[in-house]
Structure 1
């Protein structure tokens, strides 16, 4: 394992350069609803904040609620349905027609206003094979949605980690640029000292000044890169841009110890894309069962209750109708008694007194009319049970089965394709990580060679053994070696992050 110094990233990096503070007033401070970044930020904290504030990930999480309700709705298909309805009605007064006559022709009068109300209650239950397959498909869809959210979370974690590493990379580049500027200033002082004693020319002094100017430009550009990388990190997290953020997590370069087989086993078990494809296959399999269930019988059961009221605005017509009916019945009874009395053997006469219209009858009609809106007259309840057996409905059902089967076959192929791609990705990412680790080893050795070369070049120039151009060349080699090592170190961390994205879990510290 590599030692923490010099290429272990510092656990506390300090605040960003003063250049960022100069840029701060230009930043929009009124971002409504956007939280401010903390002063110190570890990688774990950055990931946790991103999961709470990144808009894209929050939008992906919203899909789970709909999928959960899809499962509840599928369970609801196993329960009976219930319905209730109620209504009010009004019919205006007027001359109602009965055949070719009206109520006025019959001497009854004009129909009054009528007020009506009604209610109905119903229970229904329907069951078929599609209901059971629908429940299973809803669960598979929910699991697939959850896997998609896991993939979104993994993608977000990867983006945050890479952005976090990029900030640290640019910060280290600032330090290298600062070291380069210090060496260029040292070389300038060295050349100026040589020029004072006549050992160096004015051209060498000018060349040293040019090197100082280039180092200053490189430092300014590196500081700007830190600002850009920091703002991009905060953008990925979902925080307001802030120049005063110190990153506190340390990353170390260590030799890869995982075997390809172990990584593949982890990826097959935790990779969210693969899990989503598996749940999609399960849903497609349920789709085939649902399509085939169209050949199965269906059971339907229904039960209903209802009632109504009908009330006239006044009872004059009702009383008149009752009086007319009583008078007609009384007259008919009298006629019958007259007929009985003329028989050769007379029959006993009927008692017609009970057919006369009394005040009690009038009061009963009036009280019986007072029913609107809740004194319902119940209608007879109803119930039905039916079984439907489909026999022939053309070839539409078989066409649906074939389409569902083709969809299932497609998901099987896609799952197999994803498994093959995952195997290749694991092998490629592991090889890239191993290559990056070996590159760090070589670049460390190259840096040691460049340090020694620069040291010897300074000593030789000081005693006049080499010209200033050779010292500049040694400085150039040193700068390139530092940059190459910096790039190799962060290429290793990027490769490890990409491997974690394929495996579907963190490998740091394992």
Structure 2
């Protein structure tokens, strides 16, 4: 019996360690976690990162062309042939095979020290393209953070709408109970009970719709960040109300012109256009190329070892040579085209047109940034003023609904007046949440307009 019990305990212990434990559910995502998840899964951001990696690879290749190369070479050549006649032993009726073998080992370098600045221009152009791609990636990340924040606060707003709808249902149920009590004592007519029932059913339908809208908002948020629809989110209980920014408008515009990624990208494109125009004249400048090599060459067939020849005995041969070598070389050339049939002038005209277009795009972007910052700051100030107004309106609406319910229970007002007071209070509460969401979204848009570099810092408006 003890043996069986011991064996059972052993099997249970083995099963405990062998059977994998159930996967723990992922913790709910807060706003920063949602943005971080979106940055790793959003197709637009991933495409921008891929474009940046491609431009970095091109820049690394073009930049490497400015420096001398270094290559090691191992080479072996072998050939063998045999003719019908000829050779030093032809008079003896012997044919001599033609054998050639050579082994080569060398280290060589080749450096185009100057090719009319073409290599330097191409490297600088590739570098500017890298900067433009990096700015585009940052801009995509900032826009993504702004979109995720808007979807996040919309989910919070819909969650609050469910809470308000549930409170309204409770309020309408209390009015229905009061109407029934008033009918029993003959204070009101039976039509009040019917109206109260209608209002209670309407509030029930509103609650059902609000719950569906809240579920849709959470799924839309999950879809925006690239997560499964059933992803859990740690939505805040109360929305923060940070103070409005106090930085002057001129300082915000200057900060945006220095920090905005689209401005940096436009400036990089201007630099690229200028370099493209300069590269057209690179073929009119001297070109200097340096080369060097060091190695060893061995040809086993250049000498012959001692061999036995029939009728002559042992014939001595020459020793195999293994000479080492080194080479240094410099080549400078200067080519001056005499006639190009207007192709160079046309190339300059096209390059300068591209430069003018890039400068115009930069000026337009700078003007757009100034307008964007102005409107974003005005939006924050407006949303903050509306928030203060809605906060006071909500306080008064809730107090009015509470008093109206007491008055109806005591027969001082009609059911219609009590229901109207509740609807006014409910509308004011919804407007307050909407004002808080609008204020937070306005702050996020302002941070995006100013060009906050870190995408996570864009959404930290409650700090």
Structure-2-length-normalised TM-score = 0.79
Q: Give the counterpart of 2:127 among 115, 139, 157.
A: 139
Structure 1 194/256 Cα, relative in aligned 2: closer, same or farther at 3 Å? Answer: farther
1:382 and 1:255, CA in 2 relative to 1: closer, same or farther beyond 3 A? closer
Q: Given the superposition, is the C-alpha separation of residues 319 and 89 from structure 1 closer, same or farther in structure 2, using an over 3 Å criterion?
A: farther
1:508 is matched with which residue?
461
The reply to whether residue 247 of structure 1 matches residue 235 of structure 2 is yes
Cα offset, 1:150, TM superposition? 1.7
2:338 aligned residue: 392
Query: Aligned to 1:385, what secondary structure does the other structure show?
Result: strand
8 Å CA contact 1:92–1:113 kept in 2: the answer is yes
Among 198, 204, 223, the residue aligned to 2:186: 198
Aligned position for 2:20 = none
CA drift at 1:205: 1.9
Q: Please report how far the alpha carbon of residue 252 of structure 1 lies from its aligned counterpart in structure 2 after TM superposition.
A: 0.7
Structure of higher CA gyration radius: 1
Q: Equivalent residue for 1:260?
A: 249
Gaps of 5+ in 1: 1-34, 324-356, 369-374
Aligned 1:139-158 pairs, distance under 5 A? 139-158=127-146
The count of aligned residue pairs is 427
- 1:486–1:436: structure 2 CA closer, same or farther, 3 Å change rule? same
Closer, same or farther in 2 for the Cα pair 1:295/1:146, shift >3 Å?
same
Q: Give, in whole Å, the separation in 2 of the partners of 1:169 and 1:244.
A: 16
Q: How far did 1:91 drift?
A: 3.9
Task: Between 476-485 and 440-449, report the one with greater CA deviation.
Answer: 440-449
1:124 is aligned to 2:110: yes
Cα distance per residue 1:199-250 (max 9 Å; x no partner): 3333322322222222222222222333333333344444444454323484
- Report the Cα offset of residue 440 of structure 1: 2.2
TM-fit CA distance, 1:45: 3.7
Measured after TM superposition, the shift of residue 115 of structure 1 is 5.1
Aligned to 1:426: 373
Q: Aligned residue for 2:414?
A: 467
**In 2, Cα distance between equivalents of 1:466 and 1:168:** 36
Which deviations, in whole Å up to 9, do the C-alpha atoms of 1:335-372 show, x marking residues without a partner?
xxxxxxxxxxxxxxxxxxxxxx883xx2325x65xxxx
Equivalent residue of 1:300, what SS? Answer: strand
Query: 1:383, 1:255 → 2: CA distance?
Result: 70
Counterpart residue number, 2:299: 309
Q: How does 1:278-293 map to 2 (within 5 A)?
A: 278-293=267-282
> For 2:416 and 2:326, how far apart are their aligned partners in 1?
112
8 Å CA contact 1:151–1:273 kept in 2: the answer is yes
Whether contact under 8 Å (1:177, 1:219) holds in the other structure is yes
1:162 corresponds to 2:150? yes
Structure 2 CA distance for aligned equivalents of residues 253 and 389 of structure 1:
68
Cα distance change on mapping 1:125 and 1:390 into 2, 3 Å: farther
Contact 1:253 1:492 in 2 (8 A): no
Residue of structure 2 equivalent to 1:454: 401
